[in-house]
Structure 1
């Protein structure tokens, strides 16, 4: 049975970092905090429209997360609208970002992309068709 779509991704951090991530992804990606399954832990589910795309989970007692370890994870990407507003918001907040122009090719429309890092260093890509 093949996968049909991406459901969500999960970031694990301590409570203070989770709150920082929640505020960051709501402010600079436009996600919204929403309902979360009745779990026996602290955390947030952040939504793009009616889809919970980012889960923020608190690290478990005694668990140590390797935040300095470079893994093969590079970034998560979101489809977005209104690139001028997003650029302005990032510039006003002093968040460093890179821009890319992707030309149209067979089966793919031209798009602009913005790349930046969240407060914990995870890569974020915003796509604007």
Structure 2
């Protein structure tokens, strides 16, 4: 198991459209594809990579870490990561998003910050990996 890179960060902006306009007009990101998560939001891209995810105003938008919803990494070998989390008794949630061709593991760090680790859905998820939900 290895973390390959920082993938994106996710914020819940106070003013969604002003935030999109700032990151597009000032920073130079572009609005791109975003799977339907059932809540409003945008994915902003640098080239062909989504690097900033904006989450609409819902119950997750004002969590214990303020406006930062989560930070995401990209990894290899979802099975090894699950084994590692289980061996350290770290609770996690696993979901597969077919439309994005990815598995996601969510954990919470010691300060309450949500971390996402994404993996290609081409990697098999081991049997008995725990709670799984899909989109």
Same fold (TM > 0.5): no
Q: TM-score normalised to the size of structure 2?
A: 0.43
**Greater fraction strand:** 2
